[in-house]
Amino acid sequence: MPPRLKETLAEIGTSPSRSAFEEAVHLLGDDLARVPEIQQNAEVSADASHFLAEDLQSWLLAQNVDIDAEVLGVWLSDGLAARASYGKFVEVIDDLWYPSSDDVAIIALNPNGMDVIIIDHEEKISLTRMKAPGHS
């Protein structure tokens, strides 16, 4: 977990909650072991090992996720999740994900299903567009 995670989330007007984490697990198929499969089926992916914070922000902004959409930010191995706008997460992403240590998912629901962005500890970043539970 990033050392200032809770403080950074408070700065953008949110905090982690158990209900947000449970919702995220449900959206990811009720099994976090599916995360590698979700990454493998990515529409877009990149090696973020040489990204500066600005590069990561630019990549995230280029993925056509509504900047004002409420998303779930999920720290997979820490069992934490929080809700905030996509734009706010992007703005402080360098304080929300640390290379080589964190696996973070950002889940954005939309009328067609959901966008799942995964930034993993191996510094790979991916976007997978998929159906959300309850979408046909």
Note every long-range contact of 112-119, with CB atoms under 8 Å and residues 24 or more positions apart, other chains counting. 114/27, 115/63, 115/65, 116/28, 116/38, 117/60, 117/63, 117/65, 118/35, 118/38, 118/39, 118/42, 119/48, 119/56, 119/93
Per-residue pLDDT of the chain (136 residues; tens, 9 = 90+): 788 899 999 999 999 999 999 999 999 999 999 999 999 999 999 999 999 999 999 999 999 999 999 999 999 989 999 999 999 999 999 999 988 888 999 999 999 899 999 999 999 999 999 998 875 5
pTM: 0.94
